[in-house]
Structure 1
Amino acid sequence: MSAADILKLAPFDASNARTYDALCHCGAVQYKVTLSPPLEQQKITECNCSICSRNGYLLVYPQREHVRITSGQEALKTYTFGPKRNLHQFCGRCGSAVFFDPQLPKQGQDVDIMGINIRMFKGIQAKDYRTIQVDGWNGWPFIDSDYLK
């Protein structure tokens, strides 16, 4: 499966959607994520690049409008590196890697999706969900995918 296939968004269907509560380890950052389809039907990616591996990311890609921070916006800190295409957001108190905010290459515009770490979802066990392995070590499957071009 190509990176473009992994990252294609299914059309949002409110009749097949579920909202998940999520929070960092210390609870300072809390947010809600609405996924359509629900988590058990999502393409959950596990990338082998250095930052994804170190942060323990297991990512889904909802539309930005379906991610709502309910408290702790001020606790969020940002880390970027290299071409600064992804704004990695983490809790400044406990260090939990909560999500990343991709930026369009060369245009600096916000993309209408976010990479959300399902490990922050309340009441789920990551081992219960199927993940798709992505080889980000040898390229930039997210940024270079046809989805963002």
Structure 2
Amino acid sequence: MSTESNKPLASSDQAPNPPEVPWTQPNGISAAYDLHCHCGAVRLSMNISPPLYEEDTQGKEQCVAVECDCSHCERHGFWAVHPLQKDVEWTRGLEHRGEYLMGSKKCPHYFCKLCGSVLATDLTFLMENVFKMENRYSINIRMLKNFDRKKLKVRRLEVMANMPPKYTIDD
């Protein structure tokens, strides 16, 4: 696992210059993957470019997931990839998908209400107001149907822990 850094995300709702994106840029080769929560009640599929596993890359670049240092990702062990929302389909169990809002309460985090697995984050607010790009999800690849950490590339993103507001819990 390599460590790289990106420019920090904007602390305001709208940045004059969009920050550098944390995801691997598409390269024309994509692959489809099925994901599910621990109990299997909530399921989704995604198509992503470049592919997550080297065997799917056709000799081109492999997608690098992000291990974010924000309080949410740290506490849940979230390894993120960022497919376009149009390339993600929630295939089963929407009635079991819960929503958690934290911080600015603008990007809902999705989890399974039955087993508690953390599945994804809806990045619509950031895409429309900060990055000015097509909407994306942040998907927890630890929910891959055939999760194999040895086949994945992951890099540490150390930016969010220092962004305001500071994460605290009152005693």
The TM tier, using the shorter chain, reads 0.7 to 0.9
Aligned to 1:95: 116
The CA deviation at 1:104 is 2.1
Aligned to 2:59: none
Larger radius of gyration: 2
1:35 partnered with 2:48: yes
Mapped contact 1:87–1:103 kept (Cα < 8 A): no
In percent, how many aligned pairs have the same letter?
Answer: 33
1:44 partnered with 2:65: yes
SS in 2 for 1:53: helix
Return the alpha-carbon distance in structure 1 between the equivalents of residues 76 and 23 of structure 2: 23
Aligned to 1:55: 76
Return the alpha-carbon distance in structure 2 between the equivalents of residues 122 and 30 of structure 1: 9
Regions of 4+ moved over 3 Å: 3-6
Return the alpha-carbon distance in structure 2 between the equivalents of residues 7 and 60 of structure 1: 9
SS in 2 for 1:124: coil
Match of 2:153 among 115, 126, 130: 130
1:18 partnered with 2:31: yes
SS in 2 for 1:133: strand
The CA deviation at 1:50 is 1.1
Structure 2: where are the runs of 5+ without partners?
A: 8-18, 54-61, 165-171
Q: Structure 1 residues 113, 12: CA separation in 2 closer, same or farther (over 3 Å shift)?
A: farther
Return the alpha-carbon distance in structure 2 between the equivalents of residues 12 and 29 of structure 1: 29
Return the alpha-carbon distance in structure 2 between the equivalents of residues 69 and 126 of structure 1: 23
- TM normalised by structure 1 equals 0.81
CA RMSD across the alignment: 2.5
Return the alpha-carbon distance in structure 1 between the equivalents of residues 124 and 92 of structure 2: 24
The number of equivalent residue pairs is: 138
SS in 2 for 1:137: helix
- TM normalised by structure 2 equals 0.72
**Aligned-partner residue type, residue 33 of structure 1:** M
1:112 partnered with 2:125: no
Mapped contact 2:24–2:64 kept (Cα < 8 A): no
Return the alpha-carbon distance in structure 2 between the equivalents of residues 12 and 87 of structure 1: 28
